[in-house]
Each structure stands twice: as structure tokens, then as C-alpha cells.
Chain A
Amino acid sequence: MTQSEITSRRFQFDDWDAAQEHYLDAGMTDGLPIIPPTEQRVRAMLDHAGLAPGDVIGVESIRQKRMTAEKVAINAVMAGCKPEYLPVVVAAAAAVCEPLFNLHASSTSTNGIAILVLVSGPYANEIGMNARTGMMGNGNRANATIGRAINLLKTNFYGSTAQDMDQSTLGYPGKYSFCFAENVEVSPWPSLAVSKGFHADATTVTTFAANSPLQVSAHGGKDPEDFFSGSAHAMQGLGPSISEVLVVISPELMSYISEAGWSRERIAEFLCTKTQAPAKQWAAWHRIDQAVALQNPDATLGCVQEPGRITVVPGGGAAGAFTALIASWASSRSVTKEVQLRR
């Protein structure tokens, strides 16, 4: 029987400021103040989602972490989430527990990844997520706090504490929060959720062990071959043999893509092919070991092994022709889960 009581350890404080100092001093935050997770707030969040505290959201097998709804909700409250955001955070938490995501290695690596949460489907709009102007940046509560919640969960629950188990050499601001929604309004394609085989009304969360985004300017042309050639050139800068690349395409470029009739698959195929280069070229760029390249110098290597490892998603504001390229960490694969809603 699922545990119905909230069993987490309690802390007592004389006031709000004392609580803030305790959470900051104990390394239970990302360095920013948090919303103190009272039982009342956590219970309200769980009740809204129809979850019991003891419901198991996922089990991460390497460190044998059993993630419960209670711990997910506590971290979501701390991040500033509204109760209606919890189903999205829960789906993301379940996704990162999947072995393919490789949470343990990716969250300890010197690469310094953040968990990127990409939301596709109608629930993103219902909870007011931003898929438009500045969607990867600040200014939207849902984006900011959902992304913050999953990264707090990584720190607090999973133990990937900054400067400790998290050995990021440099880190990047996405480690505070990295979350946005697909801009379906500017897309000629089915949503990413539908394209992955989910039903038409489904909302999904896709999680990436994401390195920092590389924004590529693509002004000056309307032919997808031209502007994606520029993006492919930039993508080579990410290096060869990347696990996956997420490509975000701005609405202006999406309008040209619609006119040209390009599909997601065609874009992925184009980028996969265009980033191919001989091993000796990658070695000349000092992106692979010279000795490895000498074994077969003319063998071609691309940024990714196959087009299926490139995810294409529309997003961003109406003005500006840009793509953003986001590489996944080493062997980590993106994982998609449907957001389970209580209707």
C-alpha cells in the first residue's frame, strides 16, 4: 500500500529568513533563495496531481535512488512551482531515472550538464509555459520553476551537489533552470509528442543531459539548404560522435521551412550528412586523437551517428532567424515521458 503520510525530516525555524539561511548553508539550494517547503504546500501540490507521498516516480539503478512523489514535490515547492506544474516535473523526474539517460555519469562529469526539460503538447499552454520570445531565458514562471525543480531534485535528492559530486569544470547558467515548450503554432508538423508516437492530445516531457546551447545566426537567406549549411558548420564545432543534438528553430526560419516543404526528418538527414568529415579533418581540428585518426584517416565521422539522434523542434519569438544547437552529454540519450494528468 502506498504510504500516505509525509515522512520527510522536519526542520523548525523562528522565521522565513532563518529557513533561507539553513537551506543555503546546508547546500540544499542552487545558491538562490527558495520557497520554504512546508507540509501544507507540499500536500497541496501532491493533492492537485492526485499523488500519494509514497508513490514511486522512478528508480535510478546505479545509485539505487528510489524517487518518491513526496521528494519531487518538496523540490518543486522549493523551486517556486505552482501545483499545476507538478505533473510536468514528475514526468521529467521519471525520465531521468531511465537507464538510457545515465543520470549518474552525466551529473558527475566534468562536462557540466544541466537537465533540459522540453515540453510538447497542449498542457504546456494550459500552464502558461513560454514557447515564444525568449523562451530559453528568464521571465516565465512555469519555464523557470519547472526547470529549476528538476535541477534541484538532481542536487538534493540525487546528491549531485555543486562543487562536490557535480564536478563540472565550468558549468553554465542552464544548471539553475533549462526548460521550454515547443512552439507548435509556427510549425507545419505534428507536435514532437505526436511525432514520437504519443496520442494527439498527449503532452510529453523530453529530458536531455544538455550542454550549453550554441545560438547560430541564420539571417540573409530563405533556402533551408543555405541556412542549415550554416548551422551544420556550427554543429561541427560541437565535435564528432555526439550522443544527440537538439536543434531549435526560430519561427522566421520555420516559415521558410514550411514554404520549402521540409520535414523534421529531412532537416535531421541534412544536418547529419552535412556534418560528416574525414577522421583526419577532425584530427586537424584537434577534436579527436591524432593516433585514433591515423588508424583510418579517411573514414568519415559526423556529429551524430544517424539522423535519428537529431531532434528538431520549433521555438522562440517571431523576430529573428536563429537556430540553437544543444548537444547531449557523451553516452546519455534523451528520454520522453507522457505527462500524466488528473482530469
Chain B
Amino acid sequence: MVSRSDQLVTLDPRDEGVPNTDVLAKRPTTLDGKIIGLLSNRKPHADELLRMIADAIGERYSLKGVVEISKASHQWPAGPDILKEMAGQCDVIIHATAE
């Protein structure tokens, strides 16, 4: 960068690290015959919200099943055990927060 001697040159305080390069999982073309996982964060009404979503999807697709799992707390990310369990059981996972 070329700057005039009378210019003020300052630095960026923000993170300039390389963003996470994780890629999205392959999306199914239909939900017919699929198992949907509902991951609740245990916030009040999160379960109700997720069930409403699952019911709405169930009216449009012929689901094979619905699996409901809750995180230990909304304050922490889902642990690797939960993620592994859901990945093994489900084709699609819906996560929701509520209050």
C-alpha cells in the first residue's frame, strides 16, 4: 500500500483469519421415505416448534420416521455423541431454538 506521508495509516482490529471451510452435506431431492431428526436445544417451546415443523413436513411427504433428541443445554453446542447418534439415525436434521 502506498500512502502519502501526511496520511494516517491504521490497522484493522477484526479477525482476518481464513473462514471455516466445512462444506454443507448433500441435500436429499425429496423427503419421501426419509427419517427426520429434531434437535431441541431445551429452550422453552423448542420441542413444540420442532414438532409443528415435523407435522407440516409430514403433511407434504411420506416420512419414514421422526427422531427427537435434545441437547444437554442451550448454552453449549451439541456434543459429538449426539451428533454421531443423529447422523447415524437420520437423513435430515432440523435444529431449533425457541423461548
Contact = CB atoms under 8 A, between A and B. Distances in A.
Chains A and B bind each other:
yes
Interface of A: 6-16, 18-19, 23, 28, 36-39, 42, 62, 64-66, 71, 74-75, 78, 102, 105, 152-153, 156-159, 330-331
A265 to B, nearest CB: 28
B20 to A, nearest CB: 6
B15 A8 contact: no
Interface stretch (B4-12, B61-69, B85-93): B4-12
Interface in B55-87: 73, 75-77
For the complex of A and B, list the 6 residue pairs with the smallest distance between their C-beta atoms, beginning with the closest.
A9-B12, A156-B13, A8-B11, A331-B75, A74-B13, A13-B8
Interface of B: 1, 3, 6-17, 20, 73, 75-77
Nearest to A36: B10
Given A36-B10, A39-B9, A75-B13, 6 more contacts: A10-B9, A64-B20, A156-B13, A159-B15, A330-B75, A331-B75
A330 B15 CA distance: 27
A278 B10 CA distance: 57
**Could you tell me the dominant secondary structure of chain A's interface residues?**
mixed
Contact of A157 (B9, B11, B14, B20): B14
A64 B11 CA distance: 22
A97 to B, nearest CB: 13
Residue among B3, B13, B17 with max Cβ neighbours from chain A (10 Å): B13
A71 B8 contact: no
B10 A65 contact: no
B14 A156 contact: yes
Nearest to A28: B13
B2 to A, nearest CB: 9
A65 B87 CA distance: 26
Contacts of A64: 20
Nearest to B20: A64
B8 A65 contact: no
A152 B13 contact: yes
A330 B73 CA distance: 10
A37 B7 contact: no
B75 A15 contact: no
Contacts of A37: 10-11, 13
A12 B13 contact: no
A158 B14 CA distance: 8
A12 B10 CA distance: 7
